[in-house]
A and B are shown apart, each in its own frame.
Chain A
Amino acid sequence: MRRGITPLLWTLFSTGGTLAAFLFPVHLFLTGVAFPLGWLEPPSYEFALGLLRHPLTRLYFLVLIALPLFHWAHRFRYTLYDGLKIKHLTLLIVVFTYGAALAGSLAAAYTLFWCVP
C-alpha cells in the first residue's frame, strides 16, 4: 500500500507551512525588525538562556526550525521544476533541497540538545 514517500514529504511540507504561517510573522517581526529598531526590548541573555534550557522550549525550536525547512525543500523543488523547467535535473534538485533541510534540522537538533549550557 506504500507508494513512495511523496505523501510523507507532502505532510512535512504541510505541517511546516502551517507552523510557519502561524508563528513566523510574530517571531520575524520581533527578531528582525522590532528588537533591532528598538521598538521593543529583546530578552536579556539570562532570560533567553533560562527559556532555552527548558526541554519544551528546545522541542519548540527544533520543530520551528526543522519542519519549515522541509516545507521550503518540497515547495522550492516544485518551483524549480515549473519555474525554470529543469525537471530533468530532478536528482540534483531532490538531493540539494531535502539534503539542505536535513542538514539544517540536524544542526538544530545538535545545537538545541547538545550545546545549551
Chain B
Amino acid sequence: MTETVTLEVTRYRPEQEAEPTTQTYEVPFRKDWVVLDALNYVKDRLDGTLSYRWSCRMGVCGSCGMMVNGEPKLTCAAFLTDSLPGPIRVEPLQFFPIIRDLVVDLTDFLKKLKRVKPWLVREKEKPLAEGEYRQTPEELDLYQQFSMCINCMLCYAACPVYGLEPSFIGPAAIALAQRYNLDSRDQAAPERMEILAEHGGIWECTFVGECTKVCPKNVDPAGAIQQYKLASATDWFKSLLLPRGAR
C-alpha cells in the first residue's frame, strides 16, 4: 500500500540561481488525487515558495499545463495512480521560457494567436433591425470541434517543430484560425489564408501529429493544419489556372 509519492519538481529562482534545479517532495498518496492536488499540498504544507499556475481544477481553463514525466498534461487531469510508483517529474511546459519554477512565459503564443484574427470578421455588420445571425446545426458542426480549444498550450509543448523553429505559428493558432474560417458568419478566410501561408505558417508543419495526441479537448489541431494545407494548395492552383475574374 503506497503511503507517499515522490515529486521531483523543477525550481528556478532567477534572483538566486542561473539555471533550473530539481527539488524533491514527499506527498501523501491518495488514489483520487491528481498532480495539481499534490502541488497544492506542497504549497500549503511543505514549501510555500513554489510557484505554478492553476485555476478551475477541472480541465476547462487551460492554466495548469505542465510536463508530467516528460509528457505535456493538465495537472488537474493527471492522476497520481497513473504514474505510480513514481517518482513523478513535474517540469514547466516545454519549449516556453521559464519565468520562475513551473511558470512559463506565454507571450509568444498570445502574439501568434492575435495574428490569425481569432474573432468573427465581417465586411459589413448586419444592422440590428435585420436581426441575429442564424446558423443551422450542420453549419455549427463544421467548426465546433476547433472551437473547443482552451488555449492550454499542451500542443505547443508537444510539437517538435515549435521547439526547433521559433517562427512557427503553432497548432492552436492554426486550429483557431480554421474555427473562424469554417464559421458561416465569418468572412475573413482569404485574409487568414494569406497570413498562414507566410513563413512560419502552415508549411512549417511536418504532421508529427503529437499536438492532436496531447490535446485534452480533442480539438485535433493536426487535422486542422492538414485541411488548411489542402485548401491552401487548391487555392494556389486555382489562382494559377483561373483568371482573377472567374474566381
A and B directly contacting (CB within 8 A): yes
Q: What is the interface of chain A, defined by CB distance below 8 A to chain B?
A: 1-3, 6-8, 10-11, 14, 78, 81-82, 85, 87
A82 touches B206 (CB 8 A): yes
Point out the residue from B164, B206, B240 that lies within 8 Å of A85, measured CB to CB: B164
- Does B54 belong to the interface (CB within 8 Å)? no
A1 touches B165 (CB 8 A): no
Question: In the complex the two chains form, what is the Cα distance from A7 to B164 in whole Å?
Answer: 22
Chain B stretch 203-246: residues in CB contact (< 8 A) with chain A: 203, 206, 229, 232-233, 235-237, 239-240
* Minimum Cβ distance to chain A for residue B218 (Å): 25
Question: In the complex the two chains form, what is the Cα distance from A11 to B238 in whole Å?
Answer: 13
Chain B stretch 181-215: residues in CB contact (< 8 A) with chain A: 194, 197-198, 203, 206
* Total contacting residues, chain B, CB less than 8 A: 17
Q: What is the interface of chain B, defined by CB distance below 8 A to chain A?
A: 160-161, 164-165, 194, 197-198, 203, 206, 229, 232-233, 235-237, 239-240
Residues in chain B near residue A87, CB distance under 8 A: 164-165
Task: Given A78-B206, A82-B206, verify A7-B165 contact (CB < 8 Å).
Answer: no
Residues in chain B near residue A6, CB distance under 8 A: 197, 203
B203 touches A2 (CB 8 A): no
The 8 A-B pairs at the shortest CB distance, nearest first, are namely A7-B236, A1-B239, A7-B233, A3-B197, A6-B203, A78-B206, A11-B233, A82-B164
Question: In the complex the two chains form, what is the Cα distance from A2 to B232 in whole Å?
Answer: 10
Question: In the complex the two chains form, what is the Cα distance from A2 to B236 in whole Å?
Answer: 6
A10 touches B203 (CB 8 A): yes
Question: In the complex the two chains form, what is the Cα distance from A79 to B9 in whole Å?
Answer: 33
A3 touches B194 (CB 8 A): yes
Residue of B nearest to A9 (CB): B203
Question: In the complex the two chains form, what is the Cα distance from A10 to B237 in whole Å?
Answer: 12
Question: In the complex the two chains form, what is the Cα distance from A1 to B239 in whole Å?
Answer: 7
Q: Which of A3, A10, A87 has the most CB of B within 10 A?
A: A3
Q: Which of A10, A14, A87 has the most CB of B within 10 A?
A: A10
Residues in chain B near residue A82, CB distance under 8 A: 160-161, 164, 206
* Minimum Cβ distance to chain A for residue B168 (Å): 11
* Minimum Cβ distance to chain A for residue B119 (Å): 24
Question: In the complex the two chains form, what is the Cα distance from A6 to B237 in whole Å?
Answer: 12
